[in-house]
Amino acid sequence: MRLERTDLYADLEPLLAKVEHPARYLDHEWGATEEQDGPFHVCMMYADVYEVGQPNLGIAILYNELNAAEGISCERCYLPWTDMSALMREAGVPLLSLETSSPVASFDIVGFTLAHEMIATNIIEALDLAHIPVRAAERDEDDPIVIAGGPSAWNCEPLCALFDAVLLGDGEGEIVDVAQAVRDAREAGATRAEVLRSLARVQGVYVPSLYDVVVDESSTRWGYAVPKEGSGVPDVVYKRCIPDLSATDPVPQKMVPYMGIVQDRLAVEVLRGCARGCRFCQAGMTYRPVRERPFEQVVEAAERGLDETGYDEVSLSSLSTTDHSQCERILLQLDERLRAKGVRVSIPSQRLDSFGVDMAAAVSGSRRGGLTFAPEAGTQRLRDVINKNVTEEDLERAARNAFELGWRRMKLYFMMGLPTETDEDILAITAAAQRVLDIGREVVGRGYKSGVSVSISVAVFVPKSHTPFQWCGQLPIEEVRRRQQLMLHSAKDRDIRISYHDAQVSVVEAALSKMGRAGFELVYGAWERGCRFDAWTSEFKYDQWVEAGHAMGIDIEELAAEPTPLGARLPWDHTSPGVSKGFLLREWRRALEGKTTADCTMTSCAGCGVCPTLGVDNNIAGDRHGR
C-alpha cells in the first residue's frame, strides 16, 4: 500500500511555518519505499537532524532489508531541531515517523544508530519526545522493543539502560532476524521478558538486562558484566559478520532529499573492514575482516545509482578506499564512462602509500577540488608507534603527484595526544605541512595566483574500546591546550591553515568511552541539564557535563586522563568484534617498542583472531600484493 499520513500530521503541519528548515520534516522523497506489506512495524531512528542522518548508509541498508522482508514494514525518523521539539512539546505532538507521521511509540521496534559517543543525549531526547519510557526497565508490555547498533556499540554500557537489545556487527540479515524473533514471540503471546530472551538467542544480539555488573579487585571501578544466573546467555557475545559483501545491495541509499544534506552525493560502499592495524582506530579493529566488492559490481552500481538519483557526484566509501585491490581499475573505468557527463568521482580520504599517479589522474576527472590525506602523526617514530605504516617519502610522493596533476589544495589529518607523543612530534606536524606546501610551490609556482594551500585538521586522541590503546589515559586538557598553542605558533606561513578539535568535547567523549553501565547517570544528568546536539559546536554545553559528573561524584577530566591497568577486566569484555584481547595486548607492547605490524591482506596472518573466531576470512577481489 502507499504510505499515507496519519491524522497527527494535521497537528504538526501548522508548526512548519515557525521553524528553521521546514524541509527537514517533509516525506515521500524520491526513492523512498511506498509499497509496504506490514503488519509488523519498525522505525529506524537517527538521533540527529534530517540532513545529518539522511545520508547514513547504515540506516539505508536496514530500511531496505526490512521493507524487503515479508510481513515487515520500516519507516524512518530523525530528531527535530530544538525549535521544532519545543513547539511539539507545547502543542502536545509526540515524535512522529517521517513516512506516515505515525507516533514512534506505536511501532513494534524502534532502532537507534549509535553513530558516535556524542549522540548519547540525543537518544534520551528522542525517547522522551516520543513518550517512550527512557529506561528499558520501566517499559510496559505494550511499549516498543528499543534496539541499537552501529559504529559506537562497542562500549554501549553507559547507554545500556536505554536499550532492550544491542546489535553487534553487520546489520544485513541480523535486523530481519531480530524483527522476526520479536514478531514470532509476540504472536505466541510471550511476555516482554520472554521476547528479550528470544532476542538473546539471535547471533550477534546482546540483551543488557540478562547480565549483571560485578565490581571487584579484578575490575576497574566500572566493573564487568556476567550472565545472570539461569539466563542461558553467553559469557561473550560475538558480532554478526557477513562473509561476502557482493551479496549485499551496493546502492542502499536510493532516496533523494528535498534539501541540502551533509553528504549530498551518491555513495557506493566498495569494501568493508580494514587490516592496516592503526592502533588508535576502533573501526579498523571492529570491522574486520576485509571484504571487497568486485570491480564490475562497483562500476555497475555507480552508473545505476547515478541514473536513479540524478546526482552529479559519486563517493566510493569505505574505511580505506584506495586499499581496494582493484581501486585504480575502478577509478579509471568510472572516469572513462562518467567524464563526459560531468560526474565527479570522489574518495573520502586517500592512503598516502597507495595513491599513485594513475589513481590521482582518475579520482576526479577534470574537476580538481581538494585532496585529503591522513598522516596522523608528524614524525616517523610516532607513526610507527601507532602502526600507520606510511613514510615521509609516501607523503612527498603523493603531494607531488597531486600538484603535478592539477590539484592546488591539500588537507592533512593529524592527531594530538597519542601515546609517547612529545613536543618534537607536535612541531613535526606543521613541518610536514610546510614541506607539502613547498612541493606545491615548486611544481606550480609561488604567489597568491598559484592558489596552492595546505590545511591541517588536528583531532584530540580518544582511547577507544577494543583497540591496543584502550588502556591509555587521554592527554590532560591543560596539556592539550598547551600543545595546540605550540602547534599554532610554529606555523609561520599564511598558506598553512590550522584547525583543531575542541578539547572539552574530547574529554566528554573519552569519559563515555571508558565508563561502564553506571555511566548512564552522567548522560542522563547532562540531558536533564539541557544538553542536546552535543556534536554541534553551537550547542555543546561543557559546564553541564562537568556538573553532571560532580553530581555522581566524578571529575570527568580526571576520568578521561586515567589509564586502565593492563590486567583489569573491562566493562566491554563481554561484547566482542572477534579481535582477541591477547592480540591487543601484544600490539600495545609493540607500540611502546616502536615496532610495526604488517597488513595481513598483503603479508601473512597477524593473529588478531577474527577469522577463526567468527568463521570468516578476508575476501579480496584482486591482488593486493606488490603495492
Decide if pLDDT at 38 tops 80: no
Distance from C-alpha of 6 to C-alpha of 3, rounded to nearest angstrom: 10
Pick the CATH number of 9-238 from 3.40.190.10, 3.60.130.10, 3.40.50.280, 3.40.50.9100: 3.40.50.280
Of the two residues 55 and 9, the one the predictor is more confident about is 55
Query: In the predicted model, what is the mean pLDDT of the chain?
Result: 93
Sign, CA dihedral 597-601-603-608, equals positive
pLDDT in tens, 314-336: 999 999 898 999 998 999 899 88
Confidence of residue 349 (pLDDT cuts 50, 70, 90): low
The mean per-residue pLDDT over the stretch 506-525 comes to: 97
Residue 30: pLDDT band (50, 70, 90) is confident
The span from the CA of 237 to the CA of 226, in Å, is 11
> Does residue 37 have a pLDDT over 70?
no
User: What was the pLDDT predicted at 2?
Assistant: 40
Q: Which helix (H) or strand (E) holds 546?
A: helix 542-551
- Residue 10 confidence (pLDDT): 82
pLDDT at 626: 44
For the stretch 220-270, pLDDT in tens is 999 999 999 999 999 999 999 999 999 999 999 889 999 999 999 999 999
Structure confidence at residue 379 (pLDDT) = 98
Per DSSP bridges, beta strands 291-292 and 40-46 are: unpaired
**pLDDT band at residue 406 using 50, 70 and 90 as cut-offs:** confident
User: What is the structure's pLDDT at 74?
Assistant: 95
- The half-sphere exposure of 313 on its side-chain side, counting CA atoms within 13 A, is 14
Those residues whose C-beta lies under 8 Å from the C-beta of residue 336, and which sit 6 or more positions away, are none
Band (627; pLDDT cuts 50, 70, 90): very low
Cα–Cα distance for residue pair 582/607, rounded to 1 Å:
9
pLDDT value at residue 370: 73
Q: What is the dihedral of CA 513, 515, 517, 518, to 10 degrees?
A: -140
Every domain of the chain and the residues it spans: 9-238
Confidence of residue 355 (pLDDT cuts 50, 70, 90): low
CA-closest candidate to residue 172, choices 240, 266, 237: 240
Whole-number pLDDT of residue 356: 64
Distances (CA, A) of 626 to 117, 354, 623: 38, 11, 8
Supply the pLDDT for residue 34. 72
Evaluate if residue 574 carries a pLDDT over 80: yes
What average pLDDT score do residues 599-618 get? 95
State the pLDDT at residue 411: 93
